[in-house]
Protein backbone atom coordinates (compact mmCIF):
# COMPACT_ATOMS: atom_id res chain seq x y z
CA UNK A 1 0.00 0.00 0.00
CA UNK A 2 2.84 2.37 0.94
CA UNK A 3 4.42 1.70 -2.44
CA UNK A 4 1.25 2.80 -4.27
CA UNK A 5 1.00 5.93 -2.10
CA UNK A 6 4.68 6.88 -2.50
CA UNK A 7 5.28 5.95 -6.13
CA UNK A 8 1.73 6.27 -7.55
CA UNK A 9 2.55 9.01 -10.08
CA UNK A 10 5.75 7.33 -11.30
CA UNK A 11 3.91 4.01 -11.68
CA UNK A 12 1.08 5.70 -13.62
CA UNK A 13 3.50 7.36 -16.06
CA UNK A 14 5.46 4.10 -16.53
CA UNK A 15 2.21 2.15 -17.05
CA UNK A 16 1.03 4.68 -19.68
CA UNK A 17 4.36 4.30 -21.53
CA UNK A 18 4.12 0.48 -21.41
CA UNK A 19 0.46 0.61 -22.57
CA UNK A 20 1.50 2.86 -25.46
CA UNK A 21 4.27 0.38 -26.37
CA UNK A 22 1.72 -2.46 -26.35
CA UNK A 23 -0.61 -0.42 -28.61
CA UNK A 24 2.29 0.19 -31.03
CA UNK A 25 2.85 -3.59 -31.08
CA UNK A 26 -0.84 -4.18 -31.86
CA UNK A 27 -0.63 -1.64 -34.70
CA UNK A 28 2.54 -3.15 -36.12
CA UNK A 29 1.26 -6.72 -36.01
CA UNK A 30 -2.50 -7.18 -35.80
CA UNK A 31 -3.59 -4.21 -37.92
CA UNK A 32 -1.10 -5.20 -40.57
CA UNK A 33 -2.93 -8.55 -40.65
CA UNK A 34 -6.24 -6.84 -41.28
CA UNK A 35 -4.74 -4.87 -44.19
CA UNK A 36 -2.35 -7.52 -45.54
CA UNK A 37 -4.83 -9.18 -47.92
CA UNK A 38 -5.85 -5.82 -49.45
CA UNK A 39 -2.19 -4.87 -50.05
CA UNK A 40 -1.12 -8.34 -51.20
CA UNK A 41 -3.94 -8.49 -53.76
CA UNK A 42 -2.99 -4.97 -54.96
CA UNK A 43 -6.50 -3.66 -54.23
CA UNK A 44 -4.74 -1.03 -52.10
CA UNK A 45 -1.20 0.33 -52.04
CA UNK A 46 0.71 0.20 -48.72
CA UNK A 47 0.24 3.97 -48.32
CA UNK A 48 -3.53 3.77 -48.97
CA UNK A 49 -3.86 0.84 -46.54
CA UNK A 50 -2.02 2.77 -43.82
CA UNK A 51 -4.23 5.85 -44.32
CA UNK A 52 -7.45 3.76 -44.24
CA UNK A 53 -6.27 1.84 -41.18
CA UNK A 54 -5.25 5.04 -39.40
CA UNK A 55 -8.71 6.54 -39.85
CA UNK A 56 -10.86 3.46 -39.20
CA UNK A 57 -8.72 1.76 -36.51
CA UNK A 58 -8.56 5.00 -34.53
CA UNK A 59 -12.32 5.57 -35.01
CA UNK A 60 -13.06 2.00 -33.88
CA UNK A 61 -10.76 2.26 -30.87
CA UNK A 62 -11.96 5.71 -29.81
CA UNK A 63 -15.69 5.53 -30.64
CA UNK A 64 -16.36 1.89 -29.80
CA UNK A 65 -13.37 0.77 -27.76
CA UNK A 66 -15.25 0.53 -24.50
CA UNK A 67 -16.53 2.71 -21.68
CA UNK A 68 -16.02 -0.14 -19.26
CA UNK A 69 -13.47 -2.87 -19.74
CA UNK A 70 -12.81 -6.20 -18.08
CA UNK A 71 -9.79 -5.62 -15.87
CA UNK A 72 -8.23 -8.95 -16.77
CA UNK A 73 -8.73 -10.13 -20.33
CA UNK A 74 -10.97 -13.20 -20.57
CA UNK A 75 -10.73 -14.01 -16.84
CA UNK A 76 -7.37 -15.74 -17.13
CA UNK A 77 -6.36 -15.07 -13.50
CA UNK A 78 -8.23 -14.75 -10.19
CA UNK A 79 -7.74 -11.15 -8.99
CA UNK A 80 -9.21 -11.87 -5.53
CA UNK A 81 -5.87 -13.50 -4.61
CA UNK A 82 -4.24 -10.03 -4.88
CA UNK A 83 -6.60 -8.23 -2.47
CA UNK A 84 -3.96 -8.01 0.27
CA UNK A 85 -1.11 -7.23 -2.15
CA UNK A 86 -2.51 -4.81 -4.77
CA UNK A 87 0.99 -3.45 -5.44
CA UNK A 88 1.97 -6.90 -6.80
CA UNK A 89 -1.01 -6.81 -9.19
CA UNK A 90 0.10 -3.35 -10.41
CA UNK A 91 3.71 -4.54 -10.95
CA UNK A 92 2.40 -7.70 -12.63
CA UNK A 93 0.11 -5.84 -15.05
CA UNK A 94 2.92 -3.39 -15.89
CA UNK A 95 5.33 -6.25 -16.58
CA UNK A 96 2.62 -7.99 -18.67
CA UNK A 97 2.14 -4.88 -20.85
CA UNK A 98 5.89 -4.42 -21.29
CA UNK A 99 6.43 -8.13 -22.03
CA UNK A 100 3.59 -8.38 -24.57
CA UNK A 101 4.63 -5.10 -26.23
CA UNK A 102 8.26 -6.25 -26.49
CA UNK A 103 7.29 -9.62 -28.00
CA UNK A 104 4.92 -8.01 -30.52
CA UNK A 105 7.58 -5.53 -31.67
CA UNK A 106 10.13 -8.35 -32.04
CA UNK A 107 7.64 -10.51 -34.00
CA UNK A 108 6.69 -7.52 -36.20
CA UNK A 109 10.38 -6.83 -36.92
CA UNK A 110 10.76 -10.48 -38.01
CA UNK A 111 7.54 -10.27 -40.08
CA UNK A 112 5.71 -12.92 -38.00
CA UNK A 113 1.92 -12.49 -37.68
CA UNK A 114 1.30 -13.46 -34.03
CA UNK A 115 -1.67 -13.04 -31.70
CA UNK A 116 -1.77 -9.91 -29.52
CA UNK A 117 -4.47 -11.52 -27.37
CA UNK A 118 -2.30 -14.57 -26.70
CA UNK A 119 0.76 -12.35 -26.06
CA UNK A 120 -0.95 -10.45 -23.25
CA UNK A 121 -2.60 -13.59 -21.83
CA UNK A 122 0.76 -15.41 -21.78
CA UNK A 123 2.35 -12.42 -20.02
CA UNK A 124 -0.44 -12.26 -17.40
CA UNK A 125 -0.06 -16.02 -16.74
CA UNK A 126 3.72 -15.56 -16.32
CA UNK A 127 3.53 -12.92 -13.60
CA UNK A 128 0.63 -14.74 -11.84
CA UNK A 129 2.73 -17.93 -11.58
CA UNK A 130 5.69 -16.19 -9.89
CA UNK A 131 3.67 -13.78 -7.73
CA UNK A 132 0.91 -16.04 -6.35
CA UNK A 133 1.34 -19.52 -7.83
CA UNK A 134 -0.42 -21.84 -10.25
CA UNK A 135 -3.74 -21.58 -8.34
CA UNK A 136 -4.08 -17.98 -9.62
CA UNK A 137 -4.38 -19.21 -13.23
CA UNK A 138 -7.63 -20.48 -14.75
CA UNK A 139 -6.13 -23.41 -16.64
CA UNK A 140 -9.46 -24.14 -18.36
CA UNK A 141 -9.16 -20.79 -20.18
CA UNK A 142 -5.59 -21.66 -21.19
CA UNK A 143 -6.74 -25.02 -22.63
CA UNK A 144 -9.35 -23.15 -24.69
CA UNK A 145 -6.65 -20.83 -26.05
CA UNK A 146 -4.36 -23.71 -27.03
CA UNK A 147 -7.34 -25.46 -28.67
CA UNK A 148 -8.10 -22.31 -30.67
CA UNK A 149 -4.67 -22.59 -32.35
CA UNK A 150 -6.11 -25.48 -34.36
CA UNK A 151 -9.88 -24.78 -34.39
CA UNK A 152 -9.83 -21.10 -35.46
CA UNK A 153 -7.57 -21.38 -38.56
CA UNK A 154 -9.39 -24.59 -39.56
CA UNK A 155 -12.87 -22.95 -39.47
CA UNK A 156 -11.77 -19.79 -41.32
CA UNK A 157 -9.75 -21.87 -43.81
CA UNK A 158 -12.84 -23.97 -44.54
CA UNK A 159 -15.00 -20.85 -45.03
CA UNK A 160 -12.38 -19.25 -47.35
CA UNK A 161 -12.04 -22.47 -49.35
CA UNK A 162 -15.78 -22.64 -50.10
CA UNK A 163 -16.16 -18.88 -50.73
CA UNK A 164 -13.30 -19.04 -53.25
CA UNK A 165 -14.67 -22.21 -54.89
CA UNK A 166 -18.11 -20.52 -55.22
CA UNK A 167 -16.53 -17.51 -56.96
CA UNK A 168 -14.73 -19.93 -59.35
CA UNK A 169 -17.96 -21.80 -60.11
CA UNK A 170 -20.33 -18.82 -60.55
CA UNK A 171 -17.94 -16.28 -62.09
CA UNK A 172 -14.46 -17.34 -63.25
CA UNK A 173 -15.23 -20.70 -64.87
CA UNK A 174 -18.09 -19.34 -67.00
CA UNK A 175 -18.29 -18.06 -70.55
CA UNK A 176 -19.13 -14.50 -69.46
CA UNK A 177 -17.11 -13.86 -66.27
CA UNK A 178 -17.61 -10.08 -66.18
CA UNK A 179 -21.37 -10.35 -66.76
CA UNK A 180 -21.62 -12.91 -63.95
CA UNK A 181 -19.38 -10.82 -61.67
CA UNK A 182 -21.76 -7.87 -62.10
CA UNK A 183 -24.63 -10.20 -61.17
CA UNK A 184 -23.09 -12.08 -58.20
CA UNK A 185 -20.71 -9.57 -56.58
CA UNK A 186 -23.64 -7.54 -55.13
CA UNK A 187 -24.71 -10.81 -53.41
CA UNK A 188 -21.18 -11.13 -51.97
CA UNK A 189 -21.50 -7.47 -50.91
CA UNK A 190 -24.69 -8.38 -49.02
CA UNK A 191 -22.99 -11.33 -47.27
CA UNK A 192 -19.90 -9.27 -46.42
CA UNK A 193 -21.89 -6.34 -45.06
CA UNK A 194 -24.16 -8.53 -42.92
CA UNK A 195 -21.18 -10.27 -41.35
CA UNK A 196 -19.21 -7.08 -40.70
CA UNK A 197 -22.33 -5.25 -39.45
CA UNK A 198 -22.84 -8.06 -36.92
CA UNK A 199 -19.17 -7.81 -35.81
CA UNK A 200 -19.53 -4.05 -35.33
CA UNK A 201 -22.93 -4.23 -33.60
CA UNK A 202 -21.96 -7.08 -31.26
CA UNK A 203 -18.44 -5.91 -30.43
CA UNK A 204 -18.59 -2.16 -30.92
CA UNK A 205 -21.95 -0.60 -30.28
CA UNK A 206 -22.43 -2.06 -26.81
CA UNK A 207 -19.41 0.03 -25.73
CA UNK A 208 -21.20 3.20 -26.85
CA UNK A 209 -24.21 2.26 -24.70
CA UNK A 210 -26.37 0.75 -27.49
CA UNK A 211 -27.41 -2.68 -26.25
CA UNK A 212 -29.39 -4.30 -29.06
CA UNK A 213 -31.14 -7.66 -28.74
CA UNK A 214 -30.17 -10.41 -31.19
CA UNK A 215 -33.34 -9.75 -33.20
CA UNK A 216 -32.63 -6.01 -33.42
CA UNK A 217 -28.98 -6.66 -34.35
CA UNK A 218 -30.04 -8.96 -37.20
CA UNK A 219 -32.73 -6.52 -38.38
CA UNK A 220 -30.28 -3.60 -38.67
CA UNK A 221 -27.55 -5.81 -40.17
CA UNK A 222 -29.95 -7.07 -42.88
CA UNK A 223 -31.32 -3.55 -43.55
CA UNK A 224 -27.84 -2.02 -43.96
CA UNK A 225 -26.70 -4.99 -46.08
CA UNK A 226 -29.66 -4.69 -48.47
CA UNK A 227 -28.88 -0.98 -48.90
CA UNK A 228 -25.19 -1.70 -49.60
CA UNK A 229 -26.14 -4.45 -52.07
CA UNK A 230 -28.50 -2.08 -53.95
CA UNK A 231 -25.97 0.79 -54.07
CA UNK A 232 -23.19 -1.66 -54.98
CA UNK A 233 -25.27 -3.08 -57.83
CA UNK A 234 -25.91 0.39 -59.29
CA UNK A 235 -22.24 1.40 -58.88
CA UNK A 236 -20.88 -1.77 -60.53
CA UNK A 237 -23.34 -1.56 -63.44
CA UNK A 238 -22.39 2.07 -64.07
CA UNK A 239 -18.63 1.76 -63.57
CA UNK A 240 -18.15 -1.38 -65.67
CA UNK A 241 -20.55 -0.48 -68.48
CA UNK A 242 -17.70 0.98 -70.57
CA UNK A 243 -15.35 -1.92 -69.77
CA UNK A 244 -17.82 -4.51 -71.01
CA UNK A 245 -16.42 -4.95 -74.54
CA UNK A 246 -12.78 -4.85 -73.40
CA UNK A 247 -13.07 -7.27 -70.49
CA UNK A 248 -16.01 -9.56 -71.19
CA UNK A 249 -13.83 -12.61 -71.80
CA UNK A 250 -10.91 -11.66 -69.55
CA UNK A 251 -10.53 -11.75 -65.78
CA UNK A 252 -9.13 -8.21 -65.49
CA UNK A 253 -12.59 -6.64 -65.28
CA UNK A 254 -13.75 -9.26 -62.76
CA UNK A 255 -10.78 -8.57 -60.47
CA UNK A 256 -11.52 -4.83 -60.75
CA UNK A 257 -15.04 -5.52 -59.44
CA UNK A 258 -13.59 -7.46 -56.50
CA UNK A 259 -11.06 -4.65 -55.84
CA UNK A 260 -13.98 -2.30 -55.18
CA UNK A 261 -15.36 -4.80 -52.68
CA UNK A 262 -11.96 -5.26 -50.97
CA UNK A 263 -11.72 -1.54 -50.14
CA UNK A 264 -15.13 -1.66 -48.38
CA UNK A 265 -14.22 -4.79 -46.38
CA UNK A 266 -10.82 -3.33 -45.44
CA UNK A 267 -12.46 -0.20 -43.94
CA UNK A 268 -15.05 -2.19 -42.03
CA UNK A 269 -12.55 -4.79 -40.72
CA UNK A 270 -10.25 -1.99 -39.51
CA UNK A 271 -13.13 -0.39 -37.56
CA UNK A 272 -14.22 -3.72 -36.03
CA UNK A 273 -10.62 -4.59 -35.16
CA UNK A 274 -9.98 -1.20 -33.52
CA UNK A 275 -13.10 -1.52 -31.37
CA UNK A 276 -12.17 -5.02 -30.22
CA UNK A 277 -8.39 -5.41 -29.94
CA UNK A 278 -7.55 -2.05 -28.35
CA UNK A 279 -8.77 -3.78 -25.15
CA UNK A 280 -5.57 -5.86 -25.17
CA UNK A 281 -3.61 -2.68 -24.45
CA UNK A 282 -6.10 -0.72 -22.36
CA UNK A 283 -7.51 -3.58 -20.23
CA UNK A 284 -4.36 -4.06 -18.11
CA UNK A 285 -3.60 -0.31 -18.23
CA UNK A 286 -7.03 0.65 -16.88
CA UNK A 287 -6.61 -2.04 -14.16
CA UNK A 288 -3.35 -0.38 -13.09
CA UNK A 289 -4.83 3.15 -13.17
CA UNK A 290 -7.94 2.07 -11.22
CA UNK A 291 -5.95 0.19 -8.56
CA UNK A 292 -3.53 3.10 -8.00
CA UNK A 293 -6.26 5.77 -7.93
CA UNK A 294 -8.42 3.72 -5.52
CA UNK A 295 -5.41 3.18 -3.24
CA UNK A 296 -5.20 -0.55 -3.74
CA UNK A 297 -8.87 -1.47 -4.18
CA UNK A 298 -9.15 -4.05 -6.98
CA UNK A 299 -12.32 -4.13 -9.10
CA UNK A 300 -13.35 -6.73 -11.70
CA UNK A 301 -14.55 -4.08 -14.17
CA UNK A 302 -13.17 -0.56 -14.33
CA UNK A 303 -14.30 2.75 -15.77
CA UNK A 304 -11.71 3.84 -18.33
CA UNK A 305 -9.90 7.13 -17.67
CA UNK A 306 -10.55 9.69 -20.46
CA UNK A 307 -6.97 9.64 -21.77
CA UNK A 308 -6.55 5.86 -22.13
CA UNK A 309 -8.60 5.28 -25.32
CA UNK A 310 -6.90 8.01 -27.38
CA UNK A 311 -3.53 6.71 -26.11
CA UNK A 312 -4.40 3.22 -27.40
CA UNK A 313 -5.73 4.57 -30.70
CA UNK A 314 -2.64 6.73 -31.36
CA UNK A 315 -0.30 3.86 -30.42
CA UNK A 316 -2.02 1.54 -32.92
CA UNK A 317 -1.64 4.14 -35.69
CA UNK A 318 2.06 4.77 -34.88
CA UNK A 319 2.80 1.02 -34.89
CA UNK A 320 1.09 0.48 -38.23
CA UNK A 321 2.77 3.44 -39.93
CA UNK A 322 6.29 2.61 -38.70
CA UNK A 323 6.48 -1.20 -38.63
CA UNK A 324 3.32 -2.61 -40.20
CA UNK A 325 4.73 -3.26 -43.68
CA UNK A 326 6.68 -6.44 -42.77
CA UNK A 327 3.69 -8.38 -41.43
CA UNK A 328 1.56 -7.02 -44.28
CA UNK A 329 4.07 -8.50 -46.70
CA UNK A 330 4.04 -11.93 -44.97
CA UNK A 331 0.23 -12.20 -44.94
CA UNK A 332 -0.34 -10.52 -48.32
CA UNK A 333 2.34 -12.16 -50.47
CA UNK A 334 4.37 -14.62 -48.37
CA UNK A 335 1.83 -17.43 -47.81
CA UNK A 336 0.29 -17.58 -51.30
CA UNK A 337 -0.22 -15.25 -54.26
CA UNK A 338 -3.37 -13.19 -53.74
CA UNK A 339 -5.65 -11.46 -56.25
CA UNK A 340 -8.60 -9.24 -55.20
CA UNK A 341 -11.04 -12.17 -55.50
CA UNK A 342 -8.81 -14.45 -53.39
CA UNK A 343 -8.14 -11.68 -50.86
CA UNK A 344 -11.87 -11.02 -50.62
CA UNK A 345 -12.57 -14.71 -49.91
CA UNK A 346 -10.00 -14.60 -47.09
CA UNK A 347 -11.44 -11.40 -45.59
CA UNK A 348 -15.06 -12.57 -45.70
CA UNK A 349 -14.04 -15.90 -44.12
CA UNK A 350 -12.15 -14.05 -41.36
CA UNK A 351 -15.10 -11.78 -40.56
CA UNK A 352 -17.52 -14.75 -40.58
CA UNK A 353 -15.33 -16.70 -38.16
CA UNK A 354 -15.05 -13.68 -35.82
CA UNK A 355 -18.88 -13.40 -35.75
CA UNK A 356 -19.23 -17.13 -35.10
CA UNK A 357 -16.63 -17.03 -32.31
CA UNK A 358 -18.08 -13.94 -30.60
CA UNK A 359 -21.49 -15.66 -30.61
CA UNK A 360 -20.13 -18.85 -29.03
CA UNK A 361 -17.55 -17.27 -26.70
CA UNK A 362 -14.62 -19.11 -28.31
CA UNK A 363 -11.29 -17.45 -27.40
CA UNK A 364 -10.13 -16.19 -30.78
CA UNK A 365 -7.17 -14.53 -32.41
CA UNK A 366 -7.90 -12.36 -35.46
CA UNK A 367 -4.37 -13.09 -36.67
CA UNK A 368 -4.79 -16.85 -36.66
CA UNK A 369 -8.25 -16.51 -38.23
CA UNK A 370 -6.91 -14.49 -41.16
CA UNK A 371 -3.83 -16.68 -41.70
CA UNK A 372 -6.11 -19.75 -41.71
CA UNK A 373 -8.34 -18.07 -44.30
CA UNK A 374 -5.37 -17.20 -46.56
CA UNK A 375 -4.21 -20.83 -46.25
CA UNK A 376 -7.73 -21.98 -47.24
CA UNK A 377 -7.62 -19.86 -50.40
CA UNK A 378 -4.15 -21.18 -51.26
CA UNK A 379 -5.28 -24.75 -50.62
CA UNK A 380 -8.23 -24.30 -53.02
CA UNK A 381 -5.62 -23.76 -55.75
CA UNK A 382 -3.61 -26.83 -54.73
CA UNK A 383 -0.89 -27.44 -52.12
CA UNK A 384 1.78 -26.20 -54.57
CA UNK A 385 0.28 -22.69 -54.33
CA UNK A 386 1.34 -22.46 -50.65
CA UNK A 387 4.78 -21.39 -49.44
CA UNK A 388 5.19 -24.10 -46.79
CA UNK A 389 8.40 -22.55 -45.37
CA UNK A 390 6.53 -19.34 -44.47
CA UNK A 391 3.60 -21.36 -43.09
CA UNK A 392 5.99 -23.35 -40.85
CA UNK A 393 7.57 -20.15 -39.44
CA UNK A 394 4.13 -18.69 -38.71
CA UNK A 395 2.95 -21.82 -36.85
CA UNK A 396 6.16 -21.92 -34.77
CA UNK A 397 5.73 -18.24 -33.85
CA UNK A 398 2.15 -18.98 -32.67
CA UNK A 399 3.30 -21.81 -30.40
CA UNK A 400 6.15 -19.69 -28.99
CA UNK A 401 3.96 -16.61 -28.28
CA UNK A 402 2.37 -17.80 -25.01
CA UNK A 403 5.60 -19.00 -23.31
CA UNK A 404 7.58 -16.01 -24.72
CA UNK A 405 5.08 -13.57 -23.20
CA UNK A 406 5.18 -15.48 -19.89
CA UNK A 407 9.01 -15.58 -19.68
CA UNK A 408 9.44 -11.90 -20.55
CA UNK A 409 6.78 -10.94 -17.98
CA UNK A 410 8.59 -12.93 -15.26
CA UNK A 411 11.89 -11.16 -16.06
CA UNK A 412 10.28 -7.67 -16.06
CA UNK A 413 8.29 -8.48 -12.90
CA UNK A 414 11.45 -9.47 -10.99
CA UNK A 415 13.21 -6.28 -12.20
CA UNK A 416 10.32 -4.14 -10.93
CA UNK A 417 10.40 -5.85 -7.54
CA UNK A 418 14.14 -5.11 -7.33
CA UNK A 419 13.51 -1.41 -8.15
CA UNK A 420 10.48 -0.70 -5.95
CA UNK A 421 10.40 -3.26 -3.12
pLDDT at 263 over 80: yes
pLDDT at residue 302, as a whole number:
62
Q: What average pLDDT does the structure give for the chain? A: 83
**Which of helix, strand or coil describes residue 361?**
coil
Radius of gyration of the chain (CA): 22
* DSSP conformation letters of 387-398: -HHHHHHHHHHH
Q: Considering only residues 209 and 18, tell me which one the structure prediction assigns the higher pLDDT.
A: 18
The residues spanned by each domain of the chain are 1-420
pLDDT at 237 over 60: yes
Helix axes 252-277, 340-360, angle to 10 degrees: 30
**Which of helix, strand or coil describes residue 83?**
coil
Cβ-count burial 106-122 (b if 16+ within 10 Å, e if not): bbbeebbbbbbbbbbbb
pLDDT at residue 68, as a whole number:
45
pLDDT at residue 367, as a whole number:
83
Q: Considering only residues 409 and 247, tell me which one the structure prediction assigns the higher pLDDT.
A: 409
Q: State percent of the chain over pLDDT 70.
A: 88
**What confidence tens digit (pLDDT) does each residue in 160-200 have?**
999 999 999 999 888 888 888 888 989 988 988 888 787 67
Q: Is the dihedral of CA 68, 104, 351, 140 positive or negative?
A: negative
**What confidence tens digit (pLDDT) does each residue in 82-138 have?**
888 888 889 999 999 999 999 999 999 999 999 888 898 899 999 999 988 888 888
What is the 3-state composition of the chain as percent helix, strand, coil, each rounded to the nearest 5?
80, 0, 15
Q: How many CA atoms lie within 13 A of 390 on its CB side?
A: 21
pTM, to two decimals: 0.84
CA distance 335 to 391: 6
pLDDT at residue 245, as a whole number:
54
- Closest listed residue to residue 150, CA positions, set 301, 355, 362: 362
Q: State percent of the chain over pLDDT 90.
A: 26
CA distance 285 to 254: 47
Cβ-count burial 182-191 (b if 16+ within 10 Å, e if not): bebbbebbbe
Phi, psi of 303 (to 5 degrees): -75, 135
pLDDT at residue 71, as a whole number:
44
**What confidence tens digit (pLDDT) does each residue in 274-283 have?**
776 777 777 7
Amino acid sequence: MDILANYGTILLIAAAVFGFLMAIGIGANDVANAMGTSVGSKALTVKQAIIIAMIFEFAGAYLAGGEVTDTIRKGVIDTTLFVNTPDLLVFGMMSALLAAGTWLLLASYMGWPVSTTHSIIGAIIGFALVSVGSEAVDWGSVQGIVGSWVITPFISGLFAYFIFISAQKFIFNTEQPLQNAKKYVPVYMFLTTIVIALVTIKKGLKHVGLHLTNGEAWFWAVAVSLLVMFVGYLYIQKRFKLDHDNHEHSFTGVEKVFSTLMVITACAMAFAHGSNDVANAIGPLSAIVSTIQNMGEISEKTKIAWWILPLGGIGIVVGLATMGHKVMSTVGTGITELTPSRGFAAQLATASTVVLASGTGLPISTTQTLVGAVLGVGFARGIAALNLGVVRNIVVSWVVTLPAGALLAIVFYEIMLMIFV
